[in-house]
Amino acid sequence: MTDPFKSGYASIIGRPNVGKSTLLNRLLMQKVAVISNRPQTTRNKITGVLHLPNAQIILVDTPGIHQSERTLNEMMVRVSVSTFSDVDLILVMLSADTGFCDEDEFVLNSMQRVKTKKILVINKIDLVEKNGLLSLMDEMNRKSLFEEIIPISALKEDGLDSLKNLILNYLPEGPEYFPKDMVTDCPETFLFGEIIREKILKLTRFEVPHAVAVVVEDMREQDNGVVRIDATIYAEKASQKKILIGQGGSMLKSIGQLARQELEKRLGAKIFLKLFVKVRPTGETRGEPYRSSVIPNDSY
């Protein structure tokens, strides 16, 4: 008799920058979430479907949980209702190189009353000595909050097969929720906007990266086979817009070049990427956001 088909949802949660999105991408062997070395890179829940011969693991990458100005209670309600309770398993992630810090404590506190089974994933073990790791595992074991504790390195793809098998142990028998060729439920335009945002995270500094949102407005194949993508980068302030454009358009040109290279690889087609920068209207300033000067982009 063959084993029954298993399927279910596993959320990846943890403070910013521990490597949640890296784990999602590496498990899927495809980039569906953008990565940066800055905290709070991920802003939306991102679903990825891992297709195995006899199972389907639906992974949900989440924005890093951080204290900000919200109270713990508000946070708990917001996060637990949306992510914790309707999944089969929660993967709580820590980063071995920082050990267990206050922000992790906040994450764990916010989960105390969540009944869903939890696996603790200790990431970035490539950065630490074995002894330190063992004492961290011991410390976490004493919290009696987790069914399992597993050390991995998402970046070096170390321990990922063991993690997959562990997850499978906690999934119920179930149907194939998603068709075999579906790796994410995010629309392509969202993903492309994220790739552009990732380049902004990489190239800009200070408050700019976090103030930015990217919207792909239009994407279509032209008669010459080139795919034209129009995207708008929204900043919060005119000063940020200035930085994003750079001297003589140089920053925007670099953002466009990096993004275009990655998008071309992904689509397997030549791309003409047209970027606009606008200041997002605030509650006080009504009216349409204004369109900036069209940026001199590299084009074909």
Token output for 182: 């579906």
CB of 107 to ligand GTP, least distance (A): 11
CB nearer ligand GTP, residue 8 or residue 63: 63
Among 19, 151, 159, 256, binds ligand GTP (CB under 6 A): 19
Among 11, 56, 153, 240, binds ligand GTP (CB under 6 A): 153
* Residues 23 to 52 in contact with ligand GTP, rule: CB under 6 A: 35-37, 39-42
Q: Is 16 in the site for ligand GTP (CB under 6 A)?
A: yes
DSSP assignment letter at 171: P
Please report, for residues 38, 216, 278, 293, 300, the alpha-carbon distance to residue 245 in angstroms, rounded to integers and kept in the order given: 21, 18, 10, 10, 21
Q: How far apart are CA 28 and CA 143, in angstroms?
A: 30
Task: Report the 10 Å Cβ neighbour count for 117.
Answer: 15
CB nearer Mg ion, residue 23 or residue 171: 23
Count of chain residues binding Mg ion (CB under 5 A) = 4
Please report, for residues 48, 204, 277, the alpha-carbon distance to residue 200 in angstroms, rounded to integers and kept in the order given: 24, 6, 12
Applying CB under 6 A, which part among 73-81, 107-115, 153-161, 268-276 lies near ligand GTP? Answer: 153-161
Applying CB under 6 A, which part among 122-130, 171-179, 222-230, 279-287 lies near ligand GTP? Answer: 122-130
Q: How far apart are CA 211 and CA 180, in angstroms?
A: 37
**Residue closest to 35 by CA, chosen among 251, 200, 198, 224:** 198
Which residues contribute to the site for Mg ion (CB under 5 A)?
Answer: 20-21, 41-42
Residues near ligand GTP (CB under 6 A) are 14, 16-22, 35-37, 39-42, 63-64, 123-124, 126-127, 153-155
